[in-house]
Structure 1
Amino acid sequence: MAAPIRFYFDFASPYAWFALNGIEGLARAHGRDIEWRPVLLWAVLKAQGIPAPLDTPARRTYLVADMVRSAVFHEAPFTLPERLGVSTHLAGRLFYALTEARPEITPQVARAFLRAHLADGQSLAEEAVVLELAAAFGMTEGSVRAALADPTTKQRLAAAVDEAVSVGMCGSPYFVVDDEGFFGADRLPQIAWRLAGGDRREPA
């Protein structure tokens, strides 16, 4: 069986949201599963020694305009977050808590969290938003609070960050296809080409 596509992303990443339909469609078309790996992008970039892209005024201005343009291009509903680049540690912990026991709901959880933050204008940095999202998947407020505080849940997110660093993640989204990394929603055509048997050449 063909290896799954590993999908590393931050729930606060607009480009992960824009790439979602495309990568799911490619996975279906080529008989691949997706391994979902939400991470904390700021932690990955810090470990890699990469400056946060939004810290530079010129790059921030460009990226904001590009997010709006990319949403139209990918036909994705999009609401520019009031605060860009918020830490999504609450959503990340909750994702791993929910999907550890119920792996079959993994795609639905990922889509619900991304949609809430990037289409519906709800900040995943707010505990009330995370509690509401969890309730839609059958978790009580008490079980959510317990999961968020559980050291095992925190470790799952930390392990995903470490894994992302080890495979060379340098931004969100980052895909690994047959041990080859692809960064960005704009790399979906190259992923499609590779999955269809496109010529792979190692760097000289």
Structure 2
Amino acid sequence: MTSSPRIKVELYYDVVSPYTWFSFEVLCRYRSHWNMDLVLIPFFLGGVMKASGNKPPMTVASKGMYMQKDLQRNAEYFKTDIKLIEDPYNVLVQKGSLRAMRFLTAINLHCPKHLEGVSRELWRRIWSKGEDIVADDSLIMAAKEAKMEENDIEKCLSKMDDSETKNALKMATEQAVDYGAFGAPTIVVHTKEGPEMFFGSDRFPLVAQMMNEIWKGPIPDQKSKL
């Protein structure tokens, strides 16, 4: 009896989004539980928002207030250490994440084995430690935390502003928009019938259903309490 072919699942992500961190960790945890090939694809959320006409939640007062409580609830549920940012508009909108996402794109192109680790460290910097993610020193520190070698770090830093890197990030962003993306996280499940796009960190029961898999909660290895 032949096993079912593995299903490609793409996560389009930007480390400026805390909800995408939840999805990132869940999908990484489920790699050994679901019959899938997880593909991590850095994109630029600002470009997606502009192309789709969407707006950041904190630009709507009621959404911003709700988000503060909702993030704390989700952090506990997904077992992710998140602390609220003191000046979210400055950090998330004015400083943004373009340089961080170019750095991750360069890593994906030249040192892809480090993409997961550096992405995680950048999320930790901005959402757990309240630290910068756009200055060169910040990117270097995140890469070192992810155990990248110095020569690889220097290489990826030097490639950040190359046309190859910029075009790759632009193409990933446009591809996500073509799938229907309007925010992050954007998850694309490639079924036999074609790609299916899901938005949000609360769609995993539906993703599991589409893949004919079982959703065991945010931590699939956790044993239930008797």
Q: Do they superpose with TM above 0.5?
A: yes
Corresponding residue for 1:170?
A: 182
- Supply the AA of the counterpart residue of 1:46: K
Change (3 A) 1:159 1:137: same
Matched, 1:116 2:116: no
**Equivalent in 37, 44, 47 of residue 40 of structure 1:** 44
Structure 1's consecutive aligned runs of 4 or more residues displaced over 4 angstroms after TM superposition are none
Stretch of structure 1 that moved more, 82-91 or 37-46? 82-91
After superposition, give the CA deviation of every residue in 1:25-72 in whole Å (9 maximum; x if it has no partner). 333212211111122212101101222222111111111221112111
**Equivalent in 148, 156, 171 of residue 168 of structure 2:** 156
After superposition, give the CA deviation of every residue in 1:136-180 in whole Å (9 maximum; x if it has no partner). 412457545422222211111111111111111122111011211
Unaligned runs of 5+ in 2: 215-226
Change (3 A) 1:142 1:181: closer
Corresponding residue for 2:63?
A: 59
1:90: how far off?
A: 1.3
After superposition, give the CA deviation of every residue in 1:72-97 in whole Å (9 maximum; x if it has no partner). 12111112233432421111111121
1:113-152 aligned within 5 A: 113-135=122-144, 136-140=147-151, 142-152=154-164
Partners of 1:17 and 1:118 within 8 A in 2: no
Partners of 1:26 and 1:192 within 8 A in 2: no
CA–CA distance in 2 between the matches of 1:191 and 1:142?
38
- Supply the AA of the counterpart residue of 2:64: R
Corresponding residue for 2:21?
A: 17
- Supply the AA of the counterpart residue of 1:61: M
RMSD after superposition: 2.1
TM-score norm. by structure 2 comes to 0.79
Change (3 A) 1:158 1:79: same
- Supply the AA of the counterpart residue of 1:45: M
TM-score norm. by structure 1 comes to 0.86
Partners of 1:79 and 1:118 within 8 A in 2: yes
CA–CA distance in 1 between the matches of 2:56 and 2:36?
32
CA–CA distance in 2 between the matches of 1:10 and 1:157?
11
Q: Matched residue of 1:29: which SS?
A: coil
Identity in percent: 26
After superposition, give the CA deviation of every residue in 1:169-197 in whole Å (9 maximum; x if it has no partner). 12211101121111111111221222226
**Equivalent in 181, 202, 206 of residue 186 of structure 1:** 202
The total of aligned residue pairs comes to 198
CA–CA distance in 2 between the matches of 1:145 and 1:19?
27
Unaligned runs of 5+ in 1: 199-204
Partners of 1:88 and 1:124 within 8 A in 2: yes
Change (3 A) 1:146 1:21: closer
Q: Matched residue of 1:18: which SS?
A: helix
